[in-house]
Structure 1
Amino acid sequence: MKIEQIYTGCLAHGAYYIESKGEVAIIDPLRETQQYVDKAESKNAKIKYIFETHFHADFVSGHIDLAKKTGAKIIFGPGAQTNYEAHFATDGEEFKLGDVIIKVLHTPGHTLESSTFLLIDENGKDHAIFSGDTLFLGDVGRPDLAIKSDLTKEDLASMLFDSLRNKIMTLADDVIVYPAHGAGSACGKNLSKETVGLLGEQKKTNYALRADMTRNEFVKEVLDGILPPPQYFAKNAMMNKSGYTDFDTVLKKGDVSLTPEDFEQVANQEGALVLDVRTEQEFVKEHIPNSIFIGVHGSFAPWVGALITDLQQPILLVVPEGREQETVTRLSRVGYDNTLGYLEGGIESWKSAGKDIESIESISADELANRFNSDTIEILDVRKDGEYKSEHLEGDNVHHFALDYINDNMNTVDQKQTYYLHCAGGYRSVIAASILKARGFNVIDIAGGYAALKKTNLSKTDYVCPSTL
């Protein structure tokens, strides 16, 4: 028996490859599936099953494409319904894989169809659970993502309470836990940086598995502090349920080199968004007018999903050489399948063609400190709510303007005002600056973000007072 976790850091996602006697099961595969086919072929093995723990909301799974490529059967838990062929297992149903067995444990709560897959080894011993978003290390799945359910998040949290106590906590302490996500995922609140653990350790340390916890306490604690899900979550879940364009077609359409003239023509004719995925330093220095920055080196796909509201938005790329296919792939992982090409030769070819470029003024933290007491200076802190509450600059001219909700809060900023933007280190503030600038606002970026500002003599506070722009 072989178990391999295939972890993708930018999505904080773990897919799994399980092999026994030449038969393979893949659990929660990514959109690009050739990697699983190649891995099985290199072992002279055949993919027999594709298990989906639930309808994922934070990425588009590769289950449909993988089934078409291999003939493997897609397995969902009880209650799932799809627009494509799949097997909907019953609670307790077992699937033979070589010398091992994969048993379905229906564990509703994160979603109604959520299931945990129990791996029983060659000796009939419970070896591991693949818990999807039901149980993470340090946390459990948020219960507010069910597709078109009449149930409330409180109802689902109550179901999750039962699922954990009746199906998972009854298993032995030495059972290995393989979750679908680690730290950085928006599918939970307190996920550990570790991606593999033991169930016994979770029983001791995971707040949601306390033995003396009442149902009401569980519901309250699980729901406490949950922020609204990113707008793309429901759309990705529906794609996973209903189907999608095959990945090879998406990649072929997007991996197209365009001259500056063709790039500009496509942008104008198709109403395409120009997405610049270089570093924030490169973007600040020079970029195509009205382009948006989201660097491929950071949490690229989740920020694309949070900020670009239309999954069908035509997209043109300004991308570092050699990362064209990677960028199209990472866009497709969160359902953005309408990439139309990339700028051949990058920004240098754009400049050589005599086309306009723009820049964003960027100043140091020390320079901001010099300007801080000016009557006209207005600072936007674009970090997340928890970061801002923990510590921020003190002053009536400091406003919390979280990047996550920038599209909802555009009516709170004034085009006649100049805004100084910062995040923690510089990545998110340039994203925010690019969006505001493209919409006609005057912006100045603070290089180094709050990490640099902390080293100045500016006053900081952990007290959150009401602030309006």
Structure 2
Amino acid sequence: MQITQFFVKGIAHSSYILAGKQNCAVIDPRRDTAIYLEEAKSKGLKITHILETHLHADFISGHIDLADITGAKIYAPEAANCEFEHIGLAEGDTFEIDDMSIKILETPGHTPEHICYVVSDTSRGSDPVAVFCGDTLFVGDVGRPDLFPNRAEELASKLYDSLHEKLLSLPGSCEVYPAHGEGSLCGRALGAKRSSTIGYERKYNYALQIPDRKKFVENLTTDMPPAPDHFGRCTEINRKGPTKLKELPPVKEIPPKEFFKLSKRDETAILDLRCYEGFGGEHIPASWCIDFRGNFATYAGWLLPPDKQILLVSESEKQAMESVVWLHRVGLDNISGFMDGGIFAWVTAGFRTSHVPQLSIPELHERIISKNPLVIIDVRALSEYEVFHIENSIHIPVQDLRKRYEELDPEAEKVVICSTGHRSSMGCSILKQHGLSRVNNASGGMTGYNAAGFGPECPICALSWAGKVGRGGKP
């Protein structure tokens, strides 16, 4: 038996190949599936099974594409009522792959239909050796039960049973392979380690140290981070079966004049994925700014209207095509193309641009202590804001600016701040879309503010992983 893990940093997603001597299963695959085909080929394996633990909310699964390419059968929770061809699984079902026996545990809680795959290596013994537990049990955390708002307490109680009556009954030596790691919004405090054991989690996982059901439910339904908009969309897309990537129209280069005409249509959205400093220098009016260096995938899925045709402005063709992969991963398939020649081609064609002044942290501090201060809008998460914030700043998380911009004085000069400048630049683009013109971005954010000595070091910003999670993973 061999287990190979594949980790996508931007969405903190883990998928796996579970292999015997000749055949293998792919568990919770990502949408771009070439990596599994290459791995199987390199080891002389045939992909015969595609195993889904649940209907994923934060990404589009690759089950349909992988089945189409390999002919492998898709196995999924029977309770999910999936609309594509599959084998439905329920409590106690078993099947074999070479010398491995896989048993199904129904583990509702994170989602109503969730299942886990318990694996025994029968060439060595009958004891469970590994469990692929999806989003039920993480390293250091458990799956959030609040993605169905009207069922949060019900699902939290079911999660308690799934953990204590089922997963914790497995041997302490049984290896734990979750579908997510640190950086995922499918939990609250996932650990950086990407696998564990039942025994270690039983001893050290904070949620498993809450023996009282009522307190467990209260803990798992209180102060959870907001769920991005695309979570609900991805769940339904995965249930119905996503469009095969090969059936999507090709992403093409669009000359500036054609780009200009398309940008004027109500059904289009312009996504500028260049560095936020470049966006500030000049950008196409009404563009969304989502810096590709930051938490690109999550915020693209969260902020962009899914019914719009997306026009890309990038620093290069390579960057544009890389962004397409990430957009597809979060269910944004309506991508018309990218501008040939980038913003340079736009301005040399004589078209108008807009600007966002970038205030360095010393400049911002000078304005704060001056007689002509700015309105400071802090767009970080509440947990970050509560650690430390600039006095008299207004807290509006960046995603909420889409509606709460109306609370702001349109005539006042404003500066938007986050931890580094990425989310604040998103916020600036949202405000400008709604006609608020006197908008500045705090370049360097609270990280720079604290580094300059104007505030205490932010423990969240200072974490060793902060800003290093990769495409779609930076705070």
Q: What is the percentage of aligned positions where both structures have the same residue?
A: 37
The one-letter code matched in structure 2 to 1:222 is: L
- Classify 1:412/1:269 alpha carbon distance in 2 versus 1 (closer, same or farther; 3 Å): closer
Question: How far did 1:196 drift?
Answer: 1.2
The one-letter code matched in structure 2 to 1:380 is: I
SS in 1 for 2:16: strand
Task: Tell me the residue number matched to 2:141.
Answer: 139
Moved more, 356-365 or 422-431: 356-365
- Partner residue of 1:336 out of 316, 327, 332: 332
* C-alpha distance in 2 between matches for 1:407 and 1:447: 21
* C-alpha distance in 2 between matches for 1:391 and 1:195: 30
Task: Tell me the residue number matched to 2:282.
Answer: 286
Task: Tell me the residue number matched to 1:368.
Answer: 364
- Partner residue of 1:246 out of 233, 240, 244: 244
Which whole-Å deviations, capped at 9, do the CAs of 1:282-314 have from their partners, x for residues lacking one? 211222222111012221111012112x32211
- Partner residue of 1:261 out of 238, 257, 273: 257
The one-letter code matched in structure 2 to 1:392 is: H
Unaligned runs of 5+ in 1: 463-469
Moved more, 7-16 or 215-224: 215-224
Structural mapping, 1:26-41, within 5 Å: 26-41=26-41
The one-letter code matched in structure 1 to 2:221 is: L
Structural mapping, 1:5-404, within 5 Å: 5-121=5-121, 122-123=123-124, 124-146=126-148, 152-210=151-209, 213-250=211-248, 252-253=249-250, 255-269=251-265, 271-308=267-304, 310-321=305-316, 322-373=318-369, 374-395=371-392, 398-404=393-399
* C-alpha distance in 1 between matches for 2:457 and 2:275: 31
- Classify 1:457/1:219 alpha carbon distance in 2 versus 1 (closer, same or farther; 3 Å): same
* C-alpha distance in 2 between matches for 1:265 and 1:394: 45
Task: Tell me the residue number matched to 2:461.
Answer: none
The one-letter code matched in structure 1 to 2:164 is: R
- Classify 1:30/1:337 alpha carbon distance in 2 versus 1 (closer, same or farther; 3 Å): same
Which whole-Å deviations, capped at 9, do the CAs of 1:253-294 have from their partners, x for residues lacking one? 3x2111111211222246311101111122112222221110
The one-letter code matched in structure 2 to 1:393 is: I
Task: Tell me the residue number matched to 1:432.
Answer: 427
The one-letter code matched in structure 2 to 1:346 is: G
* C-alpha distance in 2 between matches for 1:77 and 1:382: 38
Question: How far did 1:405 drift?
Answer: 1.8
* C-alpha distance in 2 between matches for 1:29 and 1:284: 37
SS in 2 for 1:409: helix
* C-alpha distance in 2 between matches for 1:303 and 1:22: 41
Question: How far did 1:460 drift?
Answer: 7.3
- Classify 1:393/1:461 alpha carbon distance in 2 versus 1 (closer, same or farther; 3 Å): farther
Which whole-Å deviations, capped at 9, do the CAs of 1:206-237 have from their partners, x for residues lacking one? 12212x61111211111121134222111110
Q: Give the aligned CA root-mean-square deviation in angstroms.
A: 1.9
The one-letter code matched in structure 1 to 2:420 is: G
* C-alpha distance in 2 between matches for 1:163 and 1:360: 50
Moved more, 114-123 or 265-274: 265-274
**Would the aligned equivalents of 1:383 and 1:402 in 2 still touch at CA under 8 Å?**
yes
Task: Tell me the residue number matched to 2:468.
Answer: none
* C-alpha distance in 1 between matches for 2:42 and 2:177: 24
Question: How far did 1:459 drift?
Answer: 6.5
The one-letter code matched in structure 1 to 2:394 is: H
Unaligned runs of 5+ in 2: 459-475
SS in 1 for 2:129: strand
Question: How far did 1:376 drift?
Answer: 5.0
SS in 2 for 1:393: coil
Which whole-Å deviations, capped at 9, do the CAs of 1:53-81 have from their partners, x for residues lacking one? 10011111111121122111111124120
Which whole-Å deviations, capped at 9, do the CAs of 1:385-437 have from their partners, x for residues lacking one? 00000111123xx1112113222312211221211111111111111111112
* C-alpha distance in 2 between matches for 1:117 and 1:307: 34
* C-alpha distance in 2 between matches for 1:461 and 1:34: 42
TM-score normalised to structure 2 length: 0.91
**Would the aligned equivalents of 1:383 and 1:401 in 2 still touch at CA under 8 Å?**
yes
* C-alpha distance in 1 between matches for 2:356 and 2:385: 24
**Number of positions where the alignment pairs a residue of Structure 1 with one of Structure 2:** 453
The one-letter code matched in structure 2 to 1:413 is: L
The one-letter code matched in structure 2 to 1:227 is: P
- Classify 1:365/1:175 alpha carbon distance in 2 versus 1 (closer, same or farther; 3 Å): same
Task: Tell me the residue number matched to 2:412.
Answer: 417
**Would the aligned equivalents of 2:450 and 2:457 in 1 still touch at CA under 8 Å?**
no
- Classify 1:461/1:259 alpha carbon distance in 2 versus 1 (closer, same or farther; 3 Å): closer
Question: How far did 1:458 drift?
Answer: 4.7
* C-alpha distance in 2 between matches for 1:349 and 1:98: 57
**Would the aligned equivalents of 2:57 and 2:235 in 1 still touch at CA under 8 Å?**
yes
**Would the aligned equivalents of 2:2 and 2:18 in 1 still touch at CA under 8 Å?**
yes
**Would the aligned equivalents of 1:383 and 1:423 in 2 still touch at CA under 8 Å?**
yes
Question: How far did 1:356 drift?
Answer: 1.9
Question: How far did 1:38 drift?
Answer: 2.8
* C-alpha distance in 1 between matches for 2:368 and 2:293: 31
Moved more, 433-442 or 326-335: 433-442
Moved more, 330-339 or 404-413: 404-413
Question: How far did 1:375 drift?
Answer: 4.5
SS in 2 for 1:306: helix
